Structure formats: C-alpha cells, structure tokens
Structure 1
Amino acid sequence: MSDVPSEEPDPERLAALEKKLDEVKRARAPKPRADQQLSQANMAWRMVIEMVSGLGIGFGIGYGLDALLGTQPWLMVLFTLLGLAAGIKVMIRSAQEMQKEAAAKAADVEGR
C-alpha cells in the first residue's frame, strides 16, 4: 500500500513550494531604482522647457510685432508677460496630469 499516493498533501513539500514561490515573487517585484529618479528629473525638465518656451515664444512675437509696427518695447513686454502666463498655465496643467498618473499608479499598487 505504500506505492499508492496518498490523498493528503505533504506539509513539507507545500512549505518548500511556498518558500520557492516567495523567492520568485521577490525577485520579480519592481524595486525602486534610478529609473524613478530619472522619471522625476524628466518631469522637472519638461516643466522648465514649457516655461522657457512660453517666454521665448511671447518674446519673439512681441519683438517681431514691435519691429513691424515701430512700437518698441511695448508689445515685446506685453507678449513676454503673456508668454509667461501661458507657460505657467501649461506647467500647472502638466503637474496636474503627472499627479493624476502618480495617484493612478498608487491605486494600482494598493489594489494588488
């Protein structure tokens, strides 16, 4: 009768299997790495570029209109300020978008 497999699970084999599964799960689990820091740096550069591009475009439009109309420096100042406002608006929108993505990732991690 010893050749017939028993219906009862072997506790030692189950414990060994659980230990192996835990090791594999730990090995595959995402670890905080430099990728996250790089991602944050990319976000910061994106915001800086949006702000500077808004200023640059506003300055360029104002300078061009001043050169055409001979109203120097009034339109340049006006459009530079408008470019600053547009840059801030785009930067805030990007920050909100990034915040939503971070909240979605946090909710996804909590849901696991």
Structure 2
Amino acid sequence: MKDGRDNAAFEARLEAAEQAAKAERPETAQKQAGSAQRAIELAMRLGVEMVAAMVIAVVIGWGLDKLFHTKPWFMILMVPVGLVAGVRNLLRAMG
C-alpha cells in the first residue's frame, strides 16, 4: 500500500473539491429559482392577458346587444374577436 503522505494529499484535494462544489451550489440554485420565478410570472401574465381580452369582448358584445335589442348576436360575434385579440396579445408578450 501507499504511504500516508499520498493519502493526506488525496484527502486535501478531496476537501478542496468539496468546498468548491459547495461554493458553486448557491449561485446555481439562485439562478434556477430566478428562472423558475420568471417563467411563472410570464405564464400568469399570459393567462391574464387572454382572459382579459375575452372578458372585454364579451362585455362589449353584451352592451351592444342591450343597446340594439339583438340578444345574443353581438355577444356571439364578439367572442372570436376577443379570441383573436387575446392571441395577438399573447404573441406580442412572448416576442
């Protein structure tokens, strides 16, 4: 077997490698946490953008139906308009 001198050098290198790995972990974890948080924020924003566009379109359609006494034609007509506006907002937010 080898003498104790080689074993001590190995232990010293092993300890240095473990310290370096511990020093790198918090930075990586913070970057991953920040990235995950940004992804969640983007997903929430996209969901709100889509729902808001649909709600606004339906409310406008409902108001036009009340104004012109044409239930439910304007509301039905405004649903695809709201869908297109929502998708447009999503694409604009992603780009």
TM-score range, shorter chain: 0.5 to 0.7
Number of the residue aligned with 1:76: 75
What is the number of residues matched between the two proteins?
Answer: 71
- Alpha-carbon distance between aligned partners in 1 of 2:27 and 2:89, rounded to the nearest angstrom: 32
More helix by share: 2
Q: Partner letter of residue 71 of structure 1?
A: T
Is 1:51 matched up with 2:50? yes
- Alpha-carbon distance between aligned partners in 2 of 1:93 and 1:74, rounded to the nearest angstrom: 29
> What SS is found at the alignment partner of 2:71?
coil
Number of the residue aligned with 1:11: none
**RMSD (Å), alpha carbons:** 1.8
Poorly superposed stretches of 4+, deviation over 4 Å: none
1:33 positional shift = 2.9
Structure 1, residues 13-69: CA drift from partner, whole Å, max 9, x if none? xxxxxxxxxx7xx66x95323121111011011111100000000000000110111
1:78 positional shift = 1.1
Query: Which blocks of at least 5 consecutive residues in structure 1 are unaligned?
Result: 1-22, 97-112
> What SS is found at the alignment partner of 1:33?
helix
Q: Partner letter of residue 56 of structure 2?
A: I
Number of the residue aligned with 2:86: 87
Number of the residue aligned with 2:33: 34
Q: Partner letter of residue 45 of structure 1?
A: M
- Alpha-carbon distance between aligned partners in 1 of 2:88 and 2:32, rounded to the nearest angstrom: 31
Query: Which blocks of at least 5 consecutive residues in structure 2 are unaligned?
Result: 1-19
